[in-house]
């Protein structure tokens, strides 16, 4: 994209095209002949990774839109039917939802790389500002995408974020009404968010083209921060940068696949597996992780308008960076002070993110204010002052000199990183075991057959769990997302189609109207959903002392308890995803009668050790010998609880086995591919050294 | 060029080819879910299960239209006259030769069960219209006889027969 191309195709057909539309020359000059500094490190591969992620998000997004229904009554269930019924729907959905997080991880690394190596300095100011615009667009897109599944967090996130605009004096309220298309977040809001969520990625793609254009005009920055002078300083983009970016991309894909196949809900909020309810706010509203630092800044300012201004300024300030930091030396490698402050800034940003996920109370508020000050101080005080007082170290004469100077240092840092990751992993396993012994108010971590990379459901437990559900739970709780046909699904309780049909025909389903206009009853079919215990919510409340027994379909993914820091870091390595079943199991065994003396139990409630707040409206649902087990398993509450928790894990994640099976294949493939790419990259680069 | 360097060359070429091949396999495998998701999903397949239809309310000379897998199915209780007409025509003279006997179930000769989708371009023909006591398609004027066979117009084939069977004398199961 820089200047007229000198590329001349030899093929006459291509020449004919080239004369009329010099597109091959454009591609050739931008992605083949384009000279890239030869000293780029792996932090520079994130640009390519980001383009790849944008592509993944657009492709999976377009496909999800083929199956999604943007309507308040149907959105939640349509997402669930994508995951349950559409071929590979679970894969596409998890690729898209985790893809958003991967996109942000990559963009944060990309931005910090720019910050560290001074990539925003002349002549790359516009390149940098275009990047900030892309980042803003990404935030808007990510936010609107999060609203679409129409879970509790979707709804309340939408409410809270759109209400930010109500802080604007005089016109705030009208703007919010305009955004909503109503007097609260509702169907018009969902529809416009869907439309915009589909549009914005293409706008991002457009700005990315400008970003790449500006990049190819100004040329890439590099770790030394000196501009290329001679031909010795650069290598052609293809094959050198392509293969290196390719290797970086494959490594990133392994990381991505780890989330998609093994811990797909690790970064999500369990509350979003509960359908949006405008009448109930979740106890603790948190945005997606990638907004947390800004959310923390918002909350740390004790004024509505001030908080909103601070939050937006925290992003906008980035655009002014080229003029805040006027130091001549680009790379922090040669700026001893700037380097230290850079790492302090990273710590401040991470801590702000951590605070954003904490309740806004006590010490957290103070810490939030201090860190907010530090965040702005870095840009507005530290960088301007440093550019005036700091004496930088001598920068290398040329890129070629830089390459010669540090050849061979890379391997050492890679080994250090590997050892660190390994240590973390080992630490993770130990911690997980330690947590087993410690019960208390957090549910004990049980061992589940479906845990881990090759986990599978225990068929016997699923069948027993179904029996318990059918004889006990189903008298009060609905199971809206399950159909009789699911009982015969692969990876499920292992019923044959005939057995599932027999179960279905035990119930009567209302159908009709027939020719005479009357409703009639017929035996259930495989395609019918599980029967509901009550015709509607009011009937359910009336029969249950005012409490509404929640639907159980997604219960095992919708319940949560705090694992705390650093436990949640280890959970990443140990693939811990079993909070829901642990909680269900603990809850069913957690009834204490009579309640502890000092606890004031409300009328009509029961004391449960594990229920948040301890006063639960559900009476102890099951006791020993209540359900007959035919396979000799002891008829103890302990076993009932574990079996029903297993069953509910299956109803919440019916394709768990398929996911882990495919995950293993993908992992093996990607690791082999990564090795091949690594050696190919080495061979290609051997010529350049 | 020495032998070692040419061996080095082959090894390098092999590496490049292997990497390229693995990349191609990966890309092809990644496309599969993206295509496969377009096929009918599990709920659509389950909803396409066989249905039972009670024939008792359909009087002679009457017809009903039921839906199976989203397709209209005509069930026609034919009169003696309609059956005779359908059997009188010389099969060889038809555009899509087929006997009437081959299009109904033996012993239930009065029942014609056809998918009511014109074999021209998919419009729905109207029953009991046209020159052949059968169906007439308003879109481009195809005419089907009382056995649902194409007699005149642009449609190339007879109206297809869905898979069905008689469960009892007055009940069929389609699918
Ligand atoms: S569609 Fe029936 S005649 Fe063309």
The pLDDT score that the predictor gives to residue B4 is 55
Burial class (CB in 10 A: 0-12, 13-18, 19+), A30: middle
CATH number, domain A435-482+534-654: 1.10.760.10
Looking at residue A275, the DSSP 8-state letter turns out to be B
Q: What is the pLDDT of residue A415?
A: 55
- Closest to A130 (Cα-Cα) out of A141, A116, A119, A145: A119
pLDDT tops 60 at residue A616: yes
CB pairs under 8 A between A and B: 66
Q: What per-residue confidence (pLDDT) applies to A594?
A: 85
What average pLDDT does range A209-230 have in this prediction?
Answer: 93
Polymer length of chain B: 175
Ligand 1 and B124: CB distance under 6 A: no
Contact B75, B111 (CB under 8 A): yes
Q: Among the residues of A222-291, which ranges form H helices?
A: 242-257
Q: Which of A289, A210, A205, A654 is nearest to A466 (CA)?
A: A654
Q: What is the DSSP code (8-state) at residue A375?
A: H
Residue of B nearest to A527 (CA): B46
Which of A108-112, A223-227, A280-284 is least confident?
A280-284
With CB atoms and an 8 Å threshold, state whether B15 touches A84: no
The yes-or-no verdict on residue B71 having pLDDT over 80 is: yes
Would you say residue B19 has pLDDT above 80? yes
Kindly report the length of chain A.
689
Helix (H, G, I), strand (E, B) or coil at A592: coil
Chain A residues close to B33, C-beta within 8 Å: 87-88, 91-92
DSSP tag of B129: E
- Confidence grade of residue B1 (pLDDT, cut at 50, 70, 90): very low
| B73-106 pLDDT tens trace | 999 999 999 999 999 999 999 999 999 999 999 9
Residues A437-448: tens digit of each pLDDT: 333 478 988 999
pLDDT of the residue at A440: 45
pLDDT of residue A515: 74
Domain ranges in chain A with CATH number 1.10.760.10: 435-482+534-654
Q: Is the CB of B82 under 6 A from ligand 1?
A: no
Give dist(CA A161, CA A281) in Å, integer. 14
Quick: pLDDT tens for A338-386. 999 999 999 999 999 989 988 888 889 999 999 999 999 999 999 999 9
Angle at CA of residue A72, ends A71 and A75, nearest 5°: 65
**Rounded (5°) CA angle A411-A414-A415:** 90
DSSP-assigned letter for residue A241 = I
Decide: A207 and A133 in contact? Cβ < 8 Å: yes
Smallest Cβ–Cβ distance between B22 and the set A66, A89, A676 belongs to A676
Mean pLDDT of A414-428: 52
Residue A1, pLDDT score: 46
**Catalytic residues of B, which ones?**
140
Buried b (16+ CB within 10 A) or exposed e, A588-600: bbbbeeebeeeee
- Residue A409: the pLDDT is 53
CB contacts of A526 in chain B (<8 Å) are 46, 49
ipTM: 0.85
- φ/ψ region of B71 (left if φ > 0, alpha if ψ in -120 to 50, else beta) reads beta
CB nearest B26 (choices: A88, A489, A669): A669
Q: What does DSSP assign to residue A596? A: P
SS3 state of residue A389: helix
- Tokens standing for residue A331: 């790379």
A34-91 pLDDT, tens digit each: 999 999 999 999 999 999 999 999 999 999 999 999 999 999 999 999 999 999 999 9
Beta-carbon separation of B37 and A86 below 8 A: yes
At residue A155 the predicted structure's pLDDT band, cuts being 50, 70 and 90, is very high
Q: Mean pLDDT score of chain A, rounded to an integer?
A: 90
Contact (CB, 8 A) for A94 and A264 = yes
Sequence-distant (≥ 6) Cβ neighbours of residue A17 within 8 angstroms:
A23, A24
Residue nearest ligand 1's atom 4 by CA:
B140
What confidence score (pLDDT) does residue B122 get?
94
Q: Chain B contacts of A92, Cβ < 8 Å? A: 33-34, 37
Under 8 Å between Cβ of A460 and A633: yes
The reported pLDDT for the residue numbered A472 is 94
Average pLDDT over residues A610-621: 90
- Asked whether the predicted pLDDT for residue A435 surpasses 50, the reply is no
pLDDT band at A401; cut points 50, 70, 90 = confident
Distance separating alpha carbons of residues A355 and A366, to the nearest angstrom: 11
Instruction: Give the chain A residue whose CA is nearest to the CA of B8.
Output: A683
**Helix or strand run (H / E) with residue A537:** helix A537-543
Greatest mean pLDDT among A28-32, A498-502, A611-615 lies in A498-502
Enter the tokens of residue A399: 């890129």
Confidence class of residue B175 from pLDDT cuts 50, 70 and 90? confident
In the predicted model, is pLDDT for residue B69 greater than 80?
Answer: yes
| A674 → chain B, closest CA residue | B19
Strands (E), A212-263: 234-236
Chain A residues touching B37 at Cβ < 8 A: 63, 66-67, 86-89, 92
pLDDT at A178 over 60: yes
Please answer yes or no on whether B33 and A88 come within 8 Å at the CB atom: yes
pLDDT of A425: 44
Q: Which residues of B touch A (CB under 8 A)?
A: 12, 15-16, 18-19, 22-23, 26, 29, 33-34, 36-39, 41-44, 46-47, 49, 57
Q: What is the per-residue DSSP string for B47-90? A: HTS-EEEE-TT--TT-EEEEEETTEEEEEEE--HHHHHHHHHS-
**A99, A256 contact by CB (below 8 A):** yes
């Amino acid at each position: 994209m820089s200047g007229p191309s000198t590329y001349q195709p030899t093929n006459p057909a291509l020449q004919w095209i080239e004369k009329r539309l010099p597109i091959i020359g454009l591609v050739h000059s931008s992605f083949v002949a384009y000279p890239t500094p030869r000293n780029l490190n792996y932090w520079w591969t994130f640009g390519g990774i980001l383009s790849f992620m944008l592509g993944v998000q657009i492709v999976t997004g377009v496909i999800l839109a083929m199956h999604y229904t943007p309507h308040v009554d149907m959105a939640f269930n349509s997402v669930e039917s994508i995951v349950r019924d559409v071929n590979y729907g679970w894969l596409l959905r998890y690729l898209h939802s985790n893809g958003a997080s991967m996109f942000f991880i990559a963009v944060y690394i990309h931005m910090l790389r720019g910050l560290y190596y001074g990539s925003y300095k002349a002549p790359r100011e516009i390149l940098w500002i275009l990047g900030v615009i892309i980042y803003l667009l990404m935030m808007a897109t990510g936010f609107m995408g999060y609203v679409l599944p129409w879970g509790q967090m979707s709804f309340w996130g939408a409410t809270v974020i759109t209400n930010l605009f109500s802080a604007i004096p005089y016109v705030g309220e009208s703007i919010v009404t305009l955004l909503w298309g109503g007097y609260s977040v509702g169907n018009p809001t969902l529809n416009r968010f869907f439309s915009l969520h589909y549009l914005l990625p293409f706008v991002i793609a457009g700005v990315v083209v400008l970003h790449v254009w500006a990049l190819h005009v100004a040329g890439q920055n590099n770790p030394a921060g000196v501009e290329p002078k001679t031909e010795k300083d650069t290598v052609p983009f293809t094959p050198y940068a392509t293969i290196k970016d390719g290797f970086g991309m494959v490594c990133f894909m392994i990381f991505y696949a780890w989330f998609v196949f093994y811990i797909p809900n690790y970064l999500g909020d369990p509350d979003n597996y509960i359908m949006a309810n405008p009448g109930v706010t979740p106890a603790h509203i948190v945005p997606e992780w990638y907004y947390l630092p800004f959310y923390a800044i918002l909350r740390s300012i004790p004024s509505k308008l001030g908080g909103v201004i601070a939050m937006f300024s925290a992003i906008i300030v980035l655009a002014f960076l080229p003029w805040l930091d006027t130091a001549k030396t680009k790379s922090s490698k040669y700026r001893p002070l700037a380097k230290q402050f850079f790492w302090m800034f990273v710590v401040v940003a991470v801590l702000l993110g951590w605070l954003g996920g904490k309740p806004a109370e006590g010490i957290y508020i103070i810490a939030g204010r201090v860190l907010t000050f530090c965040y702005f101080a870095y840009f507005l005080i530290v960088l301007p002052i440093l550019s005036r007082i700091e004496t930088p170290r001598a920068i290398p004469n040329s890129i070629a000199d830089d390459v010669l100077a540090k050849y061979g240092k890379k391997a050492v840092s890679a080994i250090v990183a590997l050892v660190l990751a390994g240590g973390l992993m080992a630490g993770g396993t130990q911690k997980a075991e330690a947590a087993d012994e410690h019960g208390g108010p957090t549910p004990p971590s049980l061992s589940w057959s479906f845990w881990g990379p090759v986990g599978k459901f225990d068929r016997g437990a699923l069948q027993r769990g179904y029996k318990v559900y059918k004889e006990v739970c189903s008298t009060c709780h609905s199971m809206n997302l399950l159909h009789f046909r699911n009982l015969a699904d692969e990876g499920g309780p292992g019923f044959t189609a005939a057995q599932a049909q027999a179960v279905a025909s035990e119930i009567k389903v209302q159908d009709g109207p027939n020719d005479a206009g009357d409703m009639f009853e017929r035996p259930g079919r495989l395609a019918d959903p599980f029967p509901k215990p009550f015709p509607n919510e009011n009937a359910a409340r009336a029969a249950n002392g005012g409490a509404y027994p929640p639907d159980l379909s997604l219960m095992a993914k919708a319940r949560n308890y705090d694992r705390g820091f650093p436990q949640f870091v280890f959970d990443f390595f140990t693939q811990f995803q079993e909070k829901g079943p642990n909680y269900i199991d603990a809850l069913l065994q957690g009834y204490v009668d009579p309640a502890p003396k000092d606890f004031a139990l409300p009328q009509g409630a029961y004391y449960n050790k594990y229920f948040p707040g301890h006063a639960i409206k559900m009476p102890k649902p099951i006791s020993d010998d209540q359900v007959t087990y035919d396979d000799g398993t002891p008829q103890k509450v302990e076993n009932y609880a574990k079996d029903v928790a297993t069953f509910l894990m299956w109803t919440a994640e019916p394709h768990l086995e398929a996911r882990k099976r495919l995950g293993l294949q993908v992992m093996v493939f990607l690791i082999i591919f990564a090795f091949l790419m690594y050696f190919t990259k080495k061979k290609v680069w051997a010529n350049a050294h | 060029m020495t032998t070692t360097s040419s061996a080095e060359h082959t090894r390098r070429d092999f590496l490049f080819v292997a990497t390229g091949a693995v990349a191609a396999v990966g890309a092809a495998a990644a496309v599969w879910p993206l295509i496969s998701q377009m096929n009918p999903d599990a709920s659509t397949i389950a909803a396409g299960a066989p249905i039972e239809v009670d024939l008792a309310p359909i009087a002679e000379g009457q017809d009903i239209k039921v839906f199976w897998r989203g397709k209209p199915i005509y069930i026609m209780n034919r009169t003696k006259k309609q059956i005779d007409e359908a059997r009188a025509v010389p099969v060889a003279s038809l555009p899509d030769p087929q006997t009437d006997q081959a299009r109904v179930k033996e012993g239930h000769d009065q029942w014609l069960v056809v998918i009511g989708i014109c074999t021209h371009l998919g419009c729905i023909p109207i029953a009991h219209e046209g020159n052949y006591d059968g169906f007439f398609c308003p879109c481009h004027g195809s005419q089907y006889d009382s056995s649902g066979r194409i007699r005149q117009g642009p449609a190339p084939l007879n109206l297809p027969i869905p898979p069905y069977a008689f469960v009892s004398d007055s009940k069929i199961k389609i699918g």
